[in-house]
Amino acid sequence: MYFPVWLLPLVGYALLNARWSAIVVVPRLDDRSMQHPKEFSLLEDTTRECPFPYFKSIRDHQPVYFMPEIQAWYVSRYEDIRYVKKHPELFSSDVSRGGVVRNVAEDYRTEHGWKRVSTLQRTDPPVHTKYRKLINNAFSVKRVRGMTEYIETAVNDLIDKFINEGKADFVWEYAIPLPCTVIADQLGVPRDMIWKLKAWSDAMLAPGSGFSDEAQAIESAKLVVEAQHFFADIIAARREEPKDDIITILAQAEVIDAEGAAPRSLDMYELQDLLDQLLTGGNETTTNALGSALMLLLQRPGLMDQLRDEPDALRNLVEETLRYETPVLHLWRLATQKTLIGGVEIPEGASVALGYASANRDEDVFENSEEFDPFRKKAGAHLAFGSGPHHCPGAALSRQEIYSTFTILLHRLDNIRTQDSDEKFRHVPNIFLRGLEKLPVEFDIRNQERYFPNASVY
């Protein structure tokens, strides 16, 4: 849960065991978790703001539940999700196989730009594998480890912009620009375009939010087409004059469609879809996780000081944040035949939603799962980045950005607090992504100088 709870200071023995004070101040689920799943809807404001009682109700009452607001079978438990992901022959990532539904945004995109094709997210092995190989090295643990100083520089640059003000909107002045800056550099796009990249990324994701009408969908499609033509020009330039960036790698890449087939270059449809996914995946998840991590610390007075005293725990803070406030609530699969999940019959052609945020609070896997504990053992067992062939390719980069942020932020800033003592921590309206609208904070300066610990999350 994200609602702030301020408890009286602990006394006696607990004060001598600061580690445990981080656990007891965690807010718990309200009585709504006792309700039946039918009494909830992700389209209703209270549930959208805090969906965790809904997810717990599903796990308790009907772990594989047909969720009417998304017209999909919702898989809520950890092991059931792992079963689905281990059987792509039964549950395909190619959700387009379920039939074509008219979409005005896609119609506009097809007419004025490049229609959507399936590359990474909406394919199964071996098709997925041929595309995944193209970007694996760009986001490998080895490469991210070598980017530590670069990321720490980006973190310090952003903090420098607001440190003397004593206040900032952490979401808009930090959590958005950091991953946007990094992905811009990796793609080979000028840094002065990060806000345009953010607008394009939002437009690419808008159709799945559940809160976009037809007029808004068209406006989003116009921005997507604008992005497509921008990237098409860069792709053409990189083919003529290669640079050390991901767009060059993709523009010059070749794939083999079948055994014995001749290698071929990627066509513009494939390139546009890959860049769409790299742009949205490269910033949205990290932005949301950064905001959530600071929110969770702000809700628990004293925890930031504890983490300063035990800096090694910051690695676990990253994992526990991803577990507890999962940035992507769920993603979809398609049942290729009539089958069973957790003893529930799923019809052929049915949509299946993998509830990552629910699975990450599964009581059978995570003890005291509804409590936020940055000292939790095995917090990294979460499914926030998926698993198997579709494990998020940018997971290592995202982890490093979050880890570098709090390693440096807690060193340079002190007494971080919300500007409004009654801050509500409102989230962007969305039924599958979870991120704060804003997070205005105040702080004192702890260390004015830039800080470079050269600390890798790995």
Inside any domain, residue 135: yes
Assigned domain for 217 exists: yes
Range of the domain at 29: 12-445
Structural domain count, the chain: 1
The CATH number of residue 186's host domain is 1.10.630.10
Q: Is residue 255 situated within a structural domain?
A: yes
Nearest-5° angle of CA 243, CA 246, CA 247? 75
Q: Which residue has the higher pLDDT, 214 or 383?
A: 383
Judge whether 455 lies within some domain: no
Domain-located, residue 137: yes
Question: Residue 223 domain-assigned?
Answer: yes
Task: Note the pLDDT of residue 212.
Answer: 81
Instruction: Give the strand pairing for 351-354 and 72-75.
Output: parallel
- How is residue 328 annotated by DSSP? B
Query: Would 456 be classed as within a structural domain?
Result: no
**Portion of the chain with pLDDT greater than 70, in percent:** 91
Query: What pLDDT shows up at residue 136?
Result: 87
Between these two residues, 23 and 243, which has the higher pLDDT value? 243
**42 and 431 Cβ atoms separated by less than 8 Å:** yes
Render pLDDT for 94-137 as a digit per residue (tens, 0 to 9). Answer: 987 655 455 788 899 999 999 999 898 889 889 999 999 999 88
- Residue with more model confidence, 308 or 26: 308
In tens, the pLDDT along 293-317 reads 999 999 998 999 999 989 889 999 9
Instruction: Give the tens place of pLDDT for each residue, 28-40.
Output: 555 666 789 999 9
For residues 251-279, average pLDDT = 94
Burial letters 366-397, b for 16+ CB under 10 A, else e: beebbbbbbbbeebeebbbbbeebbebbbbbb
Residue 3 lies in a domain: no
pLDDT digits (tens, 9 = 90+) for 148-178: 999 999 999 999 999 999 999 999 999 999 9
Higher pLDDT, 391 or 288: 288
Secondary structure element (H or E) that encloses residue 92, with its range: strand 91-92
Q: Is 396 helix (H, G, I), strand (E, B) or coil?
A: helix
Rg (CA), the chain: 22
Read off the pLDDT of residues 402-443 as tens digits, 9 standing for 90 and up.
Answer: 999 999 999 999 999 999 999 999 999 999 999 999 999 999
